Structure 1
């Protein structure tokens, strides 16, 4: 998007070595108002030069990366104390929002049971408890297909006959500051349960195995595993993932039960630092499916459990530079591969081929089309059941589900795709938790106005069975709110989709507070979904807008490609153009607009703070990726090399380096009146390190010519998602929303 927006760095503060007060002193930062508020901590300057491609950047705050330094910990604690003092007046508002979330939530609740093999699996929550409890009850096989696949009726607060508790998260979390479940698996016979627990927030899990017949833990314990677990069909092995020193998942390993962990076998190791590795079982559980890839091309390797000695088989080599997923399955006794791929199909398509075809050179292989390429439809993925192909597609920005009968698949007489019918304009529908042999697939459905629903979709008839709608207490009525699609015009004429949510009684009088949210990276879509906490904003008259900016996946693959690498600035200017639409729409007071985004959306927040600070009354940057150039220039930092596919490689490419430096938030802080800013992070986050927002806040305070407070809030026991436990998560959300509402002068319910 070169030339669309020129970043002026002429007003950047000089990067010079200077004696600065150490933390805890009362010396005011630039722009700090003398209004009786406490003075913020001032990080001392330790100039460090970073030179690449003939360009030198002096970083005065890189010393904050020393996580084990008592001085760094003391600085973060001082920042928390300052934040607490500056936002002390928001405490009653935070408590009110927390109680509103709590009072709308049915605290004792259960998920809809999912059948796998001979059991119904479900989770439940109990009032007053932070974590879920994983359970199951025995299934029946009466010969009546509909009855056997209708989930048992389980009611909140009522004892479930025959219930067996697999894992109580509350018991697992006892005595630990953090708890997260990173994966779970059950053997096919239902006797063993493998699960992985993180008690630090650093996404390194401990794998344990429980004998469900006795309740006893096996002696097998594997430390430092990553997400995903699976048992071999015979239950003798458990497969898991390991990350390298840069936090990249690079090994798939197998542990044979009853043996020493030191004897665990490396099934696959990926040595390319720019490739991510993961695995899953095929739908019919005959293969281990290993996926290796980045966002631009991939490779799938299969391990046939019936012939493990034959080793891994590659479907399509990464050398072909095709982005694809492969699902092996049997069709009329013939081994087939279902491919979701982008070969001659920018939005991807679905093909099917005999497994034997992949032994030939690519140009000689015969693939039959299941779903043809469509410029207006993005194919996100495809899977199989015993009778149908199940597709996830995106059309008109909305994620949808389609099914196609396996009969005649890929042939001229193939059945047409069938799509469940829903009656809202803006919604999200997806597949989850279905068994290969089931006559139904489980669907999740949600919208901005409809709380999450669980459906079973009968494949043979197309009938939808509503199994549950998440209750919202406190008198919630969907008709009291409105969700609409709007479009903003970008500087280059591109139409940017917006989702606009408000209370129905809000008038279009240019006097309302508004919050605009964005992400815009990794082809991730901000899909319609219900959010109980968001009601606390809407009920205070806030107009909530999601800007579906380029870099996301809402409008197909090109929408993503037009917001990455050397087109990344489109993401930022799209968000500002969306803000301008909001300011001119009549729905918002231009002086009462706040912005929010997290992770890569936090980079977006940092960019718009530099580009258009006057457009926002407040900005909340959650776990913000605001120092990406420093991170990506060091491939030894967590996940850095994997970022090259998204932003480009500034280590080897001077054009990428110069382009990134022209927009990265940390380097482009300059003397201007910044709005009220909150950077929210976690000390143990392994994806976006705490040091990025810590450095950013220090530099913002140094540069700002305004009087608005700039605060850093660090969760000292949390990970990338913040603190663990639902009540702590509600408190985090209440904090963020109270910060916004206070800045917008919208504390009172309307």
Structure 2
């Protein structure tokens, strides 16, 4: 048996607020240092050696997952500015092909980009931010070939097929065209922190340097720029965790100055949508914690001119709106479930679309056409493949345009989903969505994978996954814990799981785990947990607090060195996180964060079997966080359970690029879990 790697210890003392921490693995943050690379490569080699018996099974799982995917697939077409846009895939090709057809779907196909050709020679390839000029003759796009989300903007001339000489590095990848078809606006990133902090104006072919039109000086804010759906305005959005600010410019006059819509106010959140002579604002103004809808004239945008359109509800969260010529569509969430409300502009009559499932996911999708009666939305559940509908808002007729096809067949009737409620230690009811193959009994012997995220107000909805079938068909129950820190049960659900109430997120997950064991869905010897990024922080916290509840853990790109990261404002994205986690430069937050930070709370105890994954080029959670964590776990853990660190040396936060390469990472995670259950075929 090969001995696991042992990282060398170099004592580093870090003193903050009179408290001294000893960090023996601080040296691992020296990117590209030979000793760092040697350790990471040793961990990768150890993982490969220890799991070589799973090589054939991983390949089997990969081929099984791949076989369910319709390889020659295409998106549902949508029409924008005279063209139908379609994304399609071809057999044995990893990347999409972007196409369009003029006016009619029967027209000749025009290939905008074949990403398979463009990705040739790159280990990693990502295209984002496709934006067509108003006259349909040019398209801007962003490229990342490293995985660090620093996109290079390029422009293609659609009349000649040539890529123009304009090259703009270190951006977010998106561009907003002015109506002159020569000017676009884009967002640049700080080279070191990667914070999106400035907006520039670019004129095609100009020899002059791009003009900076806006700089976000507050390092707790980021910024972006986009065009309104009405196509009348270029909009700069400044955002932090707890407040927003917008700046607007008439798209016909790109050389004029942006005007502030409403100056930022601490704890005032709002978003804007333009319609005719008004802006509509989704906001939490006046203590509307679940948000309300307000309206203001284009000429008077300050908050003193806003007036109410839809009142605040303590039971219903307003998530978004879609504006059409004759209709307003409001996306809401009540008791954790999505709802879509349709309102006519002319008479204010309204109704809700109906959905019957106990737990499901529905959301409006590519509604880019302003003058239409058709609302496009997608629906799925833990048992229902993703389905795209066009809904006529006047006749209330709905048409199924496409349902996700599972190659080899899939029978929804063979599976069952339900929603159950666990009681947290403070009495709060925590919802859990779950799915399993029909016929499974509550006898404590079922392997169960419990997934959660629990941060940033991000809701993990009960969506359908073909990958998950590889677990369900082998007897697993799959469950999603809708813990505090997400927004499943409204904004207060989020507020009660961040800052000085962050520990609710971890205790909720633990209490969900105990509930599933108590109700005999599973037992501690068959319970597994998975989370990524901030969900990886969740994994680290719960195994420090209740390691005995789990047989295995998968922590993907885990944010686990919370104190050190939040103290270092040179690390990408740190300053913008203060309102989520707290600023440890303030003593109260320092001690609270330290009390749950997974890396700081590792101690001598038995830990579950663990697979930890990361990307060397990760810009969200730096590679050294999981590397340090695993090194410390190796030092302290008191049992012989498995502990693996797998670093993708060619990827970032999102893992491998390409639809099939990414499946290999999923297959590795599933093989790890199934092997712990002695299921390897």
- TM exceeding 0.5: yes
Match of 2:278 in 1: 336
Match of 1:34 in 2: none
2:644 pairs with 1:711: yes
Quote the offset at 1:350 in angstroms.
0.5
Quote the offset at 1:308 in angstroms.
4.1
Report the secondary structure of 1:228's partner residue.
Answer: strand
Equivalent-residue separation in structure 1 for 2:674 and 2:33 (angstroms): 36
1:494-525: CA deviations, max 9, x gaps?
A: 00000111011212222111111111000000
Compare 61-70 and 560-569 and name the one that shifted more.
61-70
Match of 1:183 in 2: 129
Quote the offset at 1:731 in angstroms.
0.4
Report the secondary structure of 1:215's partner residue.
Answer: coil
Match of 1:107 in 2: 71
Match of 1:120 in 2: 84
Match of 1:587 in 2: 521
Match of 1:357 in 2: 300
1:436-470: CA deviations, max 9, x gaps?
A: 22331221222111111111122222221111001
Match of 2:371 in 1: 437
Match of 2:600 in 1: 667
Match of 2:569 in 1: 635
Contact 1:315 1:326 in 2 (8 A): no
Quote the offset at 1:196 in angstroms.
0.9
Compare 469-478 and 570-579 and name the one that shifted more.
469-478
Instruction: Report the CA distance shift for 1:265/1:462 in structure 2 as closer, same or farther (over 3 A).
Output: farther
Equivalent-residue separation in structure 2 for 1:384 and 1:712 (angstroms): 47
Match of 1:148 in 2: none
Match of 1:291 in 2: 237
Report the secondary structure of 1:588's partner residue.
Answer: coil
Match of 2:629 in 1: 696
Compare 455-464 and 544-553 and name the one that shifted more.
455-464
2:420 pairs with 1:456: no
2:539 pairs with 1:605: yes
Match of 2:40 among 76, 79, 95: 76
Match of 2:555 in 1: 621
2:334 pairs with 1:395: yes
Equivalent-residue separation in structure 1 for 2:522 and 2:504 (angstroms): 24
Contact 1:594 1:744 in 2 (8 A): no
Equivalent-residue separation in structure 1 for 2:240 and 2:78 (angstroms): 32
Contact 1:283 1:385 in 2 (8 A): no
Quote the offset at 1:426 in angstroms.
1.5
Aligned residues between the structures = 678
1:698-722: CA deviations, max 9, x gaps?
A: 0000000001121100001011110
Structure 1 segment 188-203 matched on structure 2, within 5 A: 188-203=134-149
2:17 pairs with 1:53: yes
Contact 2:141 2:173 in 1 (8 A): no
1:304-330: CA deviations, max 9, x gaps?
A: 123445411222211364110112221
1:95-144: CA deviations, max 9, x gaps?
A: 2211211121111101011100111001001111110110111114xxxx
2:659 pairs with 1:726: yes
Equivalent-residue separation in structure 2 for 1:358 and 1:135 (angstroms): 39
Equivalent-residue separation in structure 2 for 1:293 and 1:617 (angstroms): 40
Match of 1:249 in 2: 196
Match of 1:239 among 178, 181, 185: 185
Contact 1:514 1:543 in 2 (8 A): yes
Compare 232-241 and 693-702 and name the one that shifted more.
232-241
Match of 1:97 among 48, 61, 67: 61
Report the secondary structure of 2:378's partner residue.
Answer: strand
Contact 1:283 1:383 in 2 (8 A): no
Match of 2:154 in 1: 208
1:642-684: CA deviations, max 9, x gaps?
A: 1101011111x11110000000000000000111111100000
Match of 1:681 in 2: 614
Quote the offset at 1:634 in angstroms.
0.7
Compare 730-739 and 208-217 and name the one that shifted more.
208-217
Contact 2:179 2:252 in 1 (8 A): no
Provide the TM-score with structure 2 as the length reference.
Answer: 0.97
Contact 1:487 1:495 in 2 (8 A): yes
Match of 1:26 in 2: none
Equivalent-residue separation in structure 2 for 1:415 and 1:276 (angstroms): 38
Equivalent-residue separation in structure 2 for 1:168 and 1:366 (angstroms): 48
Quote the offset at 1:180 in angstroms.
0.5
Contact 2:178 2:252 in 1 (8 A): no
Equivalent-residue separation in structure 2 for 1:310 and 1:178 (angstroms): 39
2:155 pairs with 1:228: no
1:684-742: CA deviations, max 9, x gaps?
A: 01000110000000000000000112110000101111011111111000101111111
Contact 1:107 1:127 in 2 (8 A): yes
Report the secondary structure of 1:438's partner residue.
Answer: coil
Contact 1:107 1:128 in 2 (8 A): yes
2:68 pairs with 1:134: no
2:596 pairs with 1:649: no
Structure 1 unaligned blocks of 5 or more:
1-36, 141-151, 153-159, 409-413
Equivalent-residue separation in structure 2 for 1:578 and 1:219 (angstroms): 55
Structure 1 segment 496-575 matched on structure 2, within 5 A: 496-575=430-509
Q: Aligned-pair RMSD on alpha carbons?
A: 1.4
1:349-371: CA deviations, max 9, x gaps?
A: 10112233335xx4xx3433222
Report the secondary structure of 1:581's partner residue.
Answer: helix
Equivalent-residue separation in structure 1 for 2:269 and 2:117 (angstroms): 42
1:612-639: CA deviations, max 9, x gaps?
A: 1111101100000011111110111110
Instruction: Report the CA distance shift for 1:451/1:553 in structure 2 as closer, same or farther (over 3 A).
Output: same
Instruction: Report the CA distance shift for 1:321/1:508 in structure 2 as closer, same or farther (over 3 A).
Output: closer
1:149-204: CA deviations, max 9, x gaps?
A: xxx4xxxxxxx751111011111110011000121111122111111111111111
Equivalent-residue separation in structure 1 for 2:349 and 2:563 (angstroms): 50
Match of 2:224 in 1: 278
Report the secondary structure of 1:227's partner residue.
Answer: strand
1:18-75: CA deviations, max 9, x gaps?
A: xxxxxxxxxxxxxxxxxxx211111111111111111111111111111121221121
1:532-560: CA deviations, max 9, x gaps?
A: 10000101101111111100010000000
Match of 1:64 among 28, 32, 48: 28
Contact 2:186 2:224 in 1 (8 A): no
Structure 1 segment 253-272 matched on structure 2, within 5 A: 253-260=200-207, 263-272=209-218
Quote the offset at 1:206 in angstroms.
1.5
Compare 213-222 and 381-390 and name the one that shifted more.
381-390
2:674 pairs with 1:741: yes
Contact 2:241 2:577 in 1 (8 A): no
Equivalent-residue separation in structure 1 for 2:43 and 2:254 (angstroms): 55
Instruction: Report the CA distance shift for 1:621/1:204 in structure 2 as closer, same or farther (over 3 A).
Output: same
Compare 305-314 and 564-573 and name the one that shifted more.
305-314
